[in-house]
Structure 1
Amino acid sequence: MSRLIVKNLPKNTSEAQLRAFFSAKGEVTDIKQLKDSEGNFKSVAFIGFRESGQEETLMQYFNKNYIGGCKILVEPAKSTADTSIKKWSKNSATQEYPSKPLPEDLDSTRLYLRNLPYSVTKEDLQVLFAQHGEIEELHLPIDSKSHRPKGFAYVKYRTTESAVMAFDKLDRSVFQGRLLHIIPAAKKPEPISEIKAKSSYKHQLAQELKKRAKNSSTWNTLFVNSDTVASAMSEKLHMTKGEFLDKDNTDLAVRVSMAETKILEEIREWMKNHDINFEAFSGDRNSTPRSQEIIIVKNLAKGAVMSEINDLFSRYGNVCRCIMPPSKTMAIVEFRDTASAKNAFDKISYTTYRALPLYLEWAPQHTFDTPHEDIETVTTTNANTIFVKNLSFKTSQEALKTHFEASGKVKSAKIIMNKGLPCGYGFVEFNTEKEAGKALRNLNNSLLDGHALKLSESKTSVVIPKKRQRSPERQDEEEEDLRSKLLVKNLAFEANTTELKEMFQNFGELKTVRIPTKASGGHRGFGFVEFLSHEDAEAALKSLQNTHFYGRRLVIDWAKEESTLSSLKQKAS
């Protein structure tokens, strides 16, 4: 622990003076000035430092130093659990974990932590409390405005024994310079359902879907809505969606699957160009570690708008990143803290957006090559320039300039255009900073052409990302691979050899295509596709891995030459 007791302080010493004085040797996390019953300072204070094991260094530096003409005495503070300490009152004794049965509203495996430093992290608490047993859940509330911890947390263990042990060992101990207070916590309240439905059946179904949203075994990371795929591809091909989905085409199922494959290839390329680690999406979906701040938003309808998705998620916390590929079939949203992300995940899962339910999934860890905290932003403020948004598309630059001239002389007014069309925002530059400040105070939320203007200081930002170096471990594993035969599982029973051939021949020349059949008729749900070259087979494997065919997601892997029919049946089941 790094907690000091300081004696012989001047009577008029303030907390700010103590913080400024002792911050010379490290981050001060706690200052407690002892006072008598009348509120008079006793000239004694406790000072807590974030770094542990620094007592001797701090004593040598501060002991017998002077504050306000008084020579101070500095000693290491003792834990309240130390039996050598004389208790000042009956209330100063170390409390014990209740031996009697807890009230029904308390959880014997859940602890409530108080007096935490505002700089504490979830990882700090995880390391401290994991020493006493397996942790089931750790919740550190974050203030939505300051984005710092609120000073308390909850820890839930798997067993009561672990909770009791943590309580006995850590209560009243010094943690990052502060005395840690622990009490048994109340049971976690059941979430209140906000689902509205016209019938009890729909209500129950919606509840079940929300529960299943957290089950990672049902996730398909790169799932895209088939209707959105059809809309995107028909737009690329300059045809109507009806023409693209013409039911008279015999290869309709193959056409839709290949369209989905094309969209997924575009998403992969977009990921590589937007600082997204695509390798994180390539592992086994059940065993891949998941982030607790980044959410993948799927099943987006045609016409999805990134700003609408950002606004939807921003209701539940501070969104630091929201991106969407050009096809608008999915989005990735990153929150600054875990608590906000979990709240958004619970509230938004399966809610309707543009007539379609949103499918949410926790993104893999290390989704972004550049974490948001590693992005340096160099910001300069143009004090005499105002950024104006929520402009009507009818507003002209002359009208904008006239509207702001009531606050001072306008040097220039510019509305940002894109391909000749207004974007809904612009900039107004004044001659002086004083005039710009007056406009900010008086004209924010003022009406212009029926729109309430939103004003802020204009800022110029330069983002400097710190690239994360990828490990070259794969280079050592690369060996010459000559495999050219693929095993295709999870085939729909409507699929046939002709359709499978039409789908895979887009990637190269085929040697054989075979779907094993049952003696009673029909196929067994898997097939084999063999190419003439390994390169073509590998391209098909990568491109079709997340493609749906007749509504089923294809599961593709390299076929083993020694595979028996019985082992293949076992794999396909």
Structure 2
Amino acid sequence: MTLSFAYVQYCDADAAVDAYQTLDGKHFQGRLLHILPASAKKTYKIDEYELSKLPLKKQREIKRKQNASGSTFSWNSLYMNADAVMSSVAGRLGVSKSDLLDPTSSDAAVKQAHAETHVIQETKAYFASNGVNIDAFKQRERGNTAILVKNFSYGVTSAELRSLFDPYGKIIRLLMPPSGTIAIVEFAHPDEAQKAFKGMAYRRMGDSILFLEKAPKNLFDASAAPRTLAPETRGKDQGFSTADTFAADEPDDSVGTTTLFVKNLNFSTTNEKFLEVFRPLDGFITGRIKTKPDPKRPGQTLSMGFAFADFKTKGQAQAALAAMNGYKLDQHELLVRASHKGKDAAEERRREDNAKKVAARRTKIIIKNLPFQATKKDIRSLFGAYGQLRSVRVPQKFDHSARGFGFADFVSAREAENAMDALKNTHLLGRRLVLEFVNEEAVDPEEELARLEKKVGEQMDRVKLQQLTSGAGRKKFTVGGQEEE
């Protein structure tokens, strides 16, 4: 059954008016055409004035939703069928799943987390060796030709998956790691991938149901390499830092490089806005605003006020310098100069050494989204496999129930880094662990909770003391006596 209406969009508004006036009321295949002007898609965004008239609770709810939709999030594309993970590991060891997990043991969940961690690490290594950009999984933007196939049972072969997806179009590549728990299918054309996604999503295959997810954009290094990067810069880090700020102050009439240094940027200018301004220039390849970690917001970055722009040829870079020097962007006049990579190398090495020294002090990891059933023993068993632990803490509430987070403090920073890299995509008792290094300058959540509990206890003692002394006559009482009972 097909719908009895359609949309037609013209590039020119006059052409749309002519089509409307000519074809409205005409006969087409036995039907009378009735043409109406389409309206723009309705949006339900609320402005600041309308938001201010709502109740405070509703305002906070709307702002939380807006912040959640605008912020970057980490989507765990490597999540795998737990049964398939255990079947894969058990099959390699030549034992049954029951022998591997040992149902009589109290740490079966930890063993399952270790197995998932091992399979994820192996999967990443396999994908990296086959041209997959692992860092692309951290991006939010999705591509339109590659599909992640997940949640299928252990034992499914790549040939079986190919036979399922072949009817939808030409498959460029199909990657399945040795563990056989996840696969990537890339089509030649976006429309073929779209048809496959709609046709195969939630399709039953064996004992499981297929979960499909659009793969991130620029997933394969091979497809990203042919872009218009200059041969001397392809696949290499430019290694720029603040040393260019001083080099840019020196007059330089000729441009001997294809990279321009842009300073005096507004700190609120985003990288997207910077690219939007420089992209129309002839020969522009790519640009980036240098950032640094935000000490007040872990995981976020701050602009350093300068950026770099790469061009195909030196002549095009010279023309861009003449055009953009003094250009006003976000109320700031840009100062554009040629980049001096040679002078910057020593400064970049010093900056990296300082970063390593700071990282060397990061030994404590905070474990968020921790299952409430998890104990200190589970945390020690899971994290202790990657190094020697100095301490493990799982804060509790007044009723001795878990708060949903914990701490693992390692003896050395290298061991903490190993645990972070290995366990950042691991699930424990069905919940994905969210790991972050504890900032030494930040307030320790557990110490803050203890301080608040002590403050509340002191306030309760003062209230009891006031109630006892407010009546007529003298009364005998003992402060803190409830603690001795």
Taking structure 1 as the reference length, the TM-score comes to: 0.45
Match of 1:556 among 435, 439, 451: 435
- Contact 1:219-1:361 at 8 Å conserved across structures: no
1:483-498 alignment, distance < 5 Å: 483-498=362-377
Name the SS of the counterpart of 1:255 in structure 2.
Answer: helix
Q: Quote the residue 1:221 is aligned against.
A: 77
Distance 1:514 1:304, change over 3 A: same
Q: Quote the residue 1:108 is aligned against.
A: 38
- Contact 1:508-1:536 at 8 Å conserved across structures: yes
> C-alpha offsets along residues 101-124 of structure 1, whole Å, 9 cap, x if unaligned?
998886715xxxxxxxxxxxxxxx
Q: 1:352 Cα deviation (Å)?
A: 0.9
Match of 1:274 among 130, 145, 148: 130
Q: Quote the residue 1:242 is aligned against.
A: 98
Q: Quote the residue 1:470 is aligned against.
A: 235
Distance 1:371 1:218, change over 3 A: closer
Distance 1:93 1:521, change over 3 A: closer
Name the SS of the counterpart of 1:334 in structure 2.
Answer: strand
Q: 1:298 Cα deviation (Å)?
A: 0.8
**Which amino acid is 2:102 matched to?**
D
Q: 2: distance between equivalents of 1:314 and 1:512? A: 53
Q: 2: distance between equivalents of 1:329 and 1:503? A: 22
Q: Quote the residue 2:445 is aligned against.
A: 565
Distance 1:303 1:81, change over 3 A: closer
Distance 1:231 1:97, change over 3 A: same
Q: 1:365 Cα deviation (Å)?
A: 1.2
Q: 1: distance between equivalents of 2:136 and 2:128? A: 12
**Which amino acid is 1:292 matched to?**
N
Q: 2: distance between equivalents of 1:472 and 1:567? A: 41
Q: Quote the residue 2:408 is aligned against.
A: 529
Distance 1:336 1:522, change over 3 A: same
Match of 1:543 among 422, 428, 432: 422
Name the SS of the counterpart of 2:222 in structure 1.
Answer: coil
Q: 1:273 Cα deviation (Å)?
A: 1.0
Match of 2:18 among 75, 82, 95: 95
1:358 aligns to 2:210 (yes or no): yes
Q: 2: distance between equivalents of 1:567 and 1:539? A: 26
Distance 1:491 1:300, change over 3 A: same
1:118-133 alignment, distance < 5 Å: none
Aligned length: 285
Match of 1:329 among 131, 156, 181: 181
1:200-215 alignment, distance < 5 Å: none
Q: 1:534 Cα deviation (Å)?
A: 0.9
Q: List gaps (5 residues or longer) in structure 2.
A: 1-11, 26-32, 44-71, 241-347, 450-485
1:368 aligns to 2:247 (yes or no): no
> C-alpha offsets along residues 295-323 of structure 1, whole Å, 9 cap, x if unaligned?
11111211011011112112222211111
Match of 2:172 among 320, 326, 330: 320
Q: 1:565 Cα deviation (Å)?
A: 2.7
Distance 1:370 1:520, change over 3 A: same
Distance 1:105 1:524, change over 3 A: farther
Match of 2:378 among 499, 504, 510: 499
> C-alpha offsets along residues 413-453 of structure 1, whole Å, 9 cap, x if unaligned?
xxxxxxxxxxxxxxxxxxxxxxxxxxxxxxxxxxxxxxxxx
Q: 2: distance between equivalents of 1:315 and 1:324? A: 19
1:290 aligns to 2:137 (yes or no): no
- Contact 2:218-2:224 at 8 Å conserved across structures: no
Q: 2: distance between equivalents of 1:533 and 1:308? A: 46
Instruction: Note the aligned Cα RMSD (angstroms).
Output: 3.7
Greater relative contact order (Cα < 8 A, sep 6+) = 2
Q: 2: distance between equivalents of 1:105 and 1:350? A: 38
Match of 1:512 among 379, 391, 394: 391
- Contact 2:394-2:407 at 8 Å conserved across structures: yes
Q: Quote the residue 2:456 is aligned against.
A: none
**Which amino acid is 2:216 matched to?**
P
- Contact 1:492-1:552 at 8 Å conserved across structures: yes
- Contact 2:424-2:433 at 8 Å conserved across structures: yes
Name the SS of the counterpart of 2:98 in structure 1.
Answer: helix
1:325-474 alignment, distance < 5 Å: 325-371=177-223, 469-472=234-237
> C-alpha offsets along residues 134-169 of structure 1, whole Å, 9 cap, x if unaligned?
xxxxxxxxxxxxxxxxxxxxxxx6479xxxxxxxxx
Q: 2: distance between equivalents of 1:101 and 1:517? A: 71
Distance 1:374 1:307, change over 3 A: farther
> C-alpha offsets along residues 391-411 of structure 1, whole Å, 9 cap, x if unaligned?
xxxxxxxxxxxxxxxxxxxxx
Match of 1:302 among 149, 154, 157: 154
Give the greater-gyration-radius structure (CA).
1
Identical-residue share of aligned pairs (%): 33
Q: Quote the residue 2:334 is aligned against.
A: none
Q: 1: distance between equivalents of 2:237 and 2:225? A: 24
Q: 2: distance between equivalents of 1:108 and 1:99? A: 16
Q: 1:99 Cα deviation (Å)?
A: 12
Distance 1:355 1:374, change over 3 A: farther
Q: 1:374 Cα deviation (Å)?
A: 6.3
Q: 1:81 Cα deviation (Å)?
A: 11
Structure showing the higher helix proportion among its residues: 2
**Which amino acid is 1:95 matched to?**
D
Q: 1: distance between equivalents of 2:130 and 2:448? A: 39
- Contact 2:387-2:410 at 8 Å conserved across structures: yes
**Which amino acid is 2:110 matched to?**
V
Q: 2: distance between equivalents of 1:261 and 1:105? A: 58
**Which amino acid is 1:534 matched to?**
A
- Contact 2:225-2:235 at 8 Å conserved across structures: no
Q: 2: distance between equivalents of 1:326 and 1:222? A: 14
- Contact 1:245-1:252 at 8 Å conserved across structures: yes
Distance 1:519 1:303, change over 3 A: same
Distance 1:312 1:474, change over 3 A: farther
Name the SS of the counterpart of 1:300 in structure 2.
Answer: coil
